[in-house]
Homo-oligomer: A and B are copies of this chain.
Amino acid sequence: MPLQPTVEADFCFAEADPFRLDCGEEISPVRLHYAMYGTPNARRDNVVLVCHALSGSARVADWWEEMFGDGRPFDTSRLCIVCANVLGSCYGSTGPRDLDRRTGRPYGASFPVITIGDNVRAQALLMDHLGVDRLRVVIGGSIGGMQALDWAIRFPERVERCIAIGACPISAMSLALGHLQRQAILSDPAWRGGDYEPDAQPVRGLALARAIAMCTYKSPELFDKRFGRKPNRNGEEPDKRLADRFDVGGYLDYQGEIFVRRFDANSYLVISKGMDLFDLGATPEQERQNLSRITARVTLIGISSDWLFPPEQVRSLAERMKQVGVRVEYLEQHSDHGHDAFLADANDLARMLGPL
């Protein structure tokens, strides 16, 4: 059993004054579900904010257990680890399954577009609520890394150190792959324009979206080693029958099947969209201005086999930060797990980072 949170609770706000989102819409009320491991010290200067990735939850130790422990990044004897579930998720924070109080019906597909910045602003309100002025560290991988970067830019005075793994604004091919995933959901008639019952969600579309995503999270090298051209392990004969699969096909289908049991299709749409929208500035000059706001010490980690967030793009971001005077280091995690390495090879990552 993984480490249990010392606190797991909901922080509710925007009950009277709606929370205004980057897209121009407002939501009210807002619920942020969060978990805490360890306890804040008297000065509340030992807080590490962890930001989770697309399908993660506030319960960090459930999905990043290897990062916890004595001599590891998350040493709860010294540090207080906090994580809030992102808006739009199905793991406790306000999301598409919640009632829109203007209509009395679930938001469904009318749930507004949520940006990385919206999440960071909500998390900052949570930190106010917890009495935490300044974060020892804000850390995350993938969309979590985007949030860490946004924190460092948006609230420079509140971030001592920023660690972003496999994260940078995504390029057109990654936008394309995100689009395909959302189209897989939208193309499933069971999606019903977002208006489905929780027990009748578009499982085929969501499973296919997850299968597409798994290809982008892993690497060609890993797939070659693990699956090669082997037939599916249950005895299928792909050379005999149209429906029979190679092993990699069986793996992808299985990943889809288990995912639909734990995740909601409309949540997937909202969070995936937020990933696409993350940007550091519409122009190079705006990016320079944004990056130059950063005062935190920054660690950017690229993953050698990541083709969703290629390491050269992460390295390039580190160089652009350096040019505007940010104290930034670039590290590379060597793994054939692709983008997923920050989770799949978390022991390596924990060693690279050491105690925070």
Contact = CB atoms under 8 A, between A and B. Distances in A.
A171 B238 contact: no
A253 B220 CA distance: 26
Interface string A174-196: 01110110011011110000000
A266 B187 CA distance: 18
Contacts of A115: 239
A120 interface: no
Interface string A260-297: 00000000011001001101000000000000000000
Copies of this protein in the assembly total 2
A215 B253 contact: no
B242 A273 contact: yes
Nearest to A245: B179
A205 interface: yes
A223 B161 CA distance: 34
A211 B252 CA distance: 18
Contacts of A276: 238, 246
Contacts of A245: 179
A245 B276 CA distance: 10
A169 interface: yes
A179 B269 contact: no
A208 interface: yes
A3 to B, nearest CB: 34
Nearest to A338: B173
Interface residues of A, number: 58
A215 B176 contact: yes
A193 to B, nearest CB: 10
Contact of A189 (B189, B220, B229, B249): B189
B253 A183 contact: yes
B239 A171 contact: no
A226 interface: yes
Contacts of A219: 173
Contact of A173 (B22, B113, B176, B215): B215
A171 B252 contact: no
Contacts of A277: 238-239
A97 interface: no
Interface string A92-113: 0000000000000000010111
A227 interface: yes
Contact of A109 (B184, B227, B242): B242
A205 B187 contact: yes
A212 interface: yes
Given A187-B188, A187-B204, A238-B277, A220 B172 contact: yes
Contacts of A187: 184, 188, 204-205, 207-208
Contact of A239 (B22, B176, B246): B22
Nearest to A188: B187
A337 to B, nearest CB: 13
Interface in A141-178: 169, 171-173, 175-177
21 contacts: A23-B239, A23-B241, A112-B242, A171-B223, A171-B228, A171-B229, A172-B229, A172-B247, A172-B248, A175-B223, A175-B227, A175-B229, A175-B249, A177-B215, A180-B252, A184-B184, A184-B208, A187-B208, A229-B279, A238-B273, A242-B269
